Amino acid sequence: MAAVPDFDTYLVTSTVVDATVVANGVRLTWTDGEVTEHHRLVLRENSPDEATTHPLSREQQLQLTDLPPDLQIVDAAPSDDGGVQVTWSTHADAGTAGLLATSTFHPGWLRTWTTADHVTAGLPTRVEWRSDLPIDTIRFDGTDALAGGPAWAGWLSAIHSHGVGIASGLPADEDQITDLPGRIGPVRTTNFGHVFDVQTKTADVTSNAYTDLELPVHTDLNTREYMPGLQFLFCMVNDAGGGESRLSDAAAIARHLRDHEPEIFDALTTIPVTFINKATDTDYRHVAPFLVVDDDGELIEARWSPWLRGPLGASIDDAERWYVAARRALELGDHPDFVVEVKLQAGELLGFDNRRVLHGRGGLDRSHGERWLRGCYVEREELLSRLRILARAERTAAADTAG
């Protein structure tokens, strides 16, 4: 049967030079000296043949329960394409016609799925930053991005790597807020609408963002179980006094706390906080630590809220620890060592990771001008999907060139 094309076939320079059958799998030695191990059923249920992997959907159509539990690899050898060919024990796979004698796995697929984190494999590396972040490194030509030129990939990569990117020189019309974000993925509607406007109101004020007040840095919608991953702010006009956008990297702040103030870090990552947003017709609540980290202490998300917090449901001792830690975190978030300021110009679109990058603004003086930003949200997983599609296209182009 023909092999199913695999989107995860990364271009690799290393190939398999030796394959040894071990208990319940195979051990591979590579030309770069790497040694990898692969379980028998991981390989079998991901075999690229059409009977196992549907040629159109690319989803598995052979179920794990169709495979005999004692299926084994009886032989393995390097394949002609630099991967490995395994020979299966003589068992008929239930639900399939006949026997699957062998399977061949591409070296790129094998290496991709032995990385520590295959979810981020091939994606731009995260870069943490402080107040010395050069704004020009995250600013791109918006017209070129709209046309799908190099600025499109550059802007998306910056939003992933630095958590923030600016597309400049776009037409200052109201529909621009959903144009580039909508090309990443579906725009998420919230209680603030499909699109929201950040400008001063004199009535129906549901957020401090709709006032002239200075706003400390924060993340949006901390009260949601799944807070939006990306936020976009498009500048329609910004000729009022003040109102500079302020940005801080919570990943850099979390690393500072972990390395230099571990007691503060421990309190912020272990003591649960109740985030609440109560209005006339909505009541959102979620419980989570201020900083959510993985097993290595790396930041997954920041629920950074100077407001929207309910009473802390903790013991007196834990509450004391948390308030000391929260005060320190909020001080660092707005500290000049961590803050980058940028005054958006009409036609500029600011995109940032809402679960990593904190945003705020200086106070407004509207005695001689106005400030009007339009905003929307998109999920972070849509950005990751788009970046993988771009990387796939690059791999395909490189393979065509090499061929």
pLDDT of 6:
54
pLDDT of 32:
94
Cα 153 to Cα 142, 145, 386, 390, distances in angstroms: 11, 8, 9, 7
Q: Which pLDDT band holds residue 202 (cuts at 50, 70, 90)?
A: very low
Q: Is the pLDDT at 20 greater than 60, yes or no?
A: yes
pLDDT of 54:
85
pLDDT of 180:
97
User: 190-219: string of b/e by CB count within 10 Å (b at 16+)?
Assistant: bebeebbbbbbeeeeeebebbeeeebbbbb
pLDDT of 398:
67
Give the integer Cα–Cα distance in Å for 53 and 74.
22
Q: Which pLDDT band holds residue 91 (cuts at 50, 70, 90)?
A: low
Cβ proximity of 239 and 373 under 8 Å:
no
Report domain extents, the chain: 16-121, 135-388
Give the integer Cα–Cα distance in Å for 8 and 109.
6
pLDDT of 50:
86
More confident residue, 264 or 91: 264
More confident residue, 369 or 402: 369
Angle 190-338-286 from CA coordinates, rounded to 5°: 30
Give the integer Cα–Cα distance in Å for 145 and 153.
8
pLDDT, one tens digit per residue, over 229-245 is: 999 999 999 988 888 99
Q: Which pLDDT band holds residue 399 (cuts at 50, 70, 90)?
A: low
Q: What is the pTM of this model?
A: 0.87
pLDDT, one tens digit per residue, over 45-83 is: 999 888 888 888 888 888 888 888 889 999 999 999 899
Alpha carbon 22 to its chain centroid, in Å, reads: 37
Written as six digits, the tokens of 360 are 């705020």
Q: Is the pLDDT at 209 greater than 70, yes or no?
A: no
Q: Which of 205, 198, 302, 204 is nearest to 243 (CA)?
A: 198
pLDDT, one tens digit per residue, over 312-343 is: 999 999 999 999 999 999 999 999 999 999 99
pLDDT of 122:
73
Give the integer Cα–Cα distance in Å for 54 and 52.
7
More confident residue, 370 or 187: 187
Cβ proximity of 246 and 123 under 8 Å:
no
Class of the domain covering 16-121 = alpha beta
For domain 135-388, give the fold.
Answer: Double-stranded beta-helix (3.60.130)
**Which segments within 239-289 are labelled E, that is strand?**
241-242, 245-249, 273-278, 283-288
Written as six digits, the tokens of 107 are 């070296």
pLDDT, one tens digit per residue, over 255-300 is: 999 999 999 999 999 999 999 988 888 899 999 999 999 999 999 9
Q: Is the pLDDT at 377 greater than 90, yes or no?
A: yes
